[in-house]
Structure 1
Amino acid sequence: MTGGCITLVYCADKCSFTSMSFGVKAECRIAIAFKEPINLDIAVRDYFAPFNPFLSFCMKAR
């Protein structure tokens, strides 16, 4: 496997605020960076596919 970095990023920002309510904008991202070029099929099989159960869980929890 090629070395690299996988980062899960979650951000939440206040987007509106009144004396009666507030709103929150949330964003989730996965950033994957490789140290050297990699074949797309290998990247999907070895790096992206293992995230499928995690992503499915996150999307159902919303």
Structure 2
Amino acid sequence: MPAAPGLVLFALALMFPHAGFLTTLFWILGTVAVVTGFTGFCLIYQLLGRNTCNR
């Protein structure tokens, strides 16, 4: 399951809902990880100009 790290981050965000910035960070990173896992496209790499594909 390629989106497992994102799901773990979502679980952490739900376990610590009053952690303020840390909870928000878990939600953001979890969303990026899940979307990247399902689509194979990483917006962060695109913004940084990185490419890890062997073509």
Q: How high is the TM-score relative to the length of structure 1?
A: 0.29
More helix by share: 2
Larger Rg over CA atoms: 1
Using CA pairs below 8 Å that are at least 6 residues apart, which structure has the higher relative contact order?
2
- Higher share of residues assigned strand: 1
